[in-house]
Amino acid sequence: MSQSTPEFDPRAQASYQVRFDQGVTGAQRIGGGADVIVWVDVLADVPSRAIPELPAGPAVLEAGFIDVAAVAAWLLAEQERIGRRVFIAIVAAGGSDGAFAADDVLAAGAIVDALIDLGIDDTSPEAAVACGAFTSLRRAVRHLTGASGSGRAATAAGVDPAVVHAASGLDSSSSVRITRTGADVGAVDATTA
């Protein structure tokens, strides 16, 4: 049985351009060597939640269903601008207690799907699974967002169900939310977000 060295974690998905994991621990696991971390939190504003401390170095985008196409187009434009592959860590935020969040996984899968449509298709198996979840459940996204644990928790906390419903509106925004620029990625056009 072979043992992995501390420098190499096979779960880091480092050989893939598009990676996927969940939560802060997942961001730490797959963020090494990434140019961009896409923090996917569908209900980030319902109620407002701050992005946690993520690995230093990569640019950080905040995303959800509302800006899938805009995020994918921005990542492709950055790749073309810098003239090399952009390595992308897509992270489903999940609950603050580490709970699984179906809505975040589906939105992460939507971003992977949009990247594949643009030709950025070197995805890890984990990213492919998230993409498959989205593509097979695309028609149920609005229902699943409201019915998910995080959707029900938001409405139980007093958030209007219409607001939760709006957060699942695929591509209802053309803006890209850049939270942090990286050394190469996002530095030039960060003001256009």
pLDDT along the chain (193 residues), means of 10: 56 95 95 96 83 92 97 97 96 87 97 98 98 97 95 92 94 95 72 42
The parent domain of residue 119 ranges over: 13-177
Looking only at the bridges linking them, the beta strands covering 177-180 and 59-63 are antiparallel
Question: Which pLDDT does position 49 carry in this prediction?
Answer: 78
CATH number at residue 123: 3.90.1560.10
Q: Give the start-end residues of each E strand in 15-150.
A: 18-22, 36-40, 59-63, 88-92
Residue 112 lies in a domain: yes
**What's the structural domain count of the chain?**
1
Question: Which pLDDT does position 7 carry in this prediction?
Answer: 60
Question: Which pLDDT does position 3 carry in this prediction?
Answer: 44
Residue 160 lies in a domain: yes
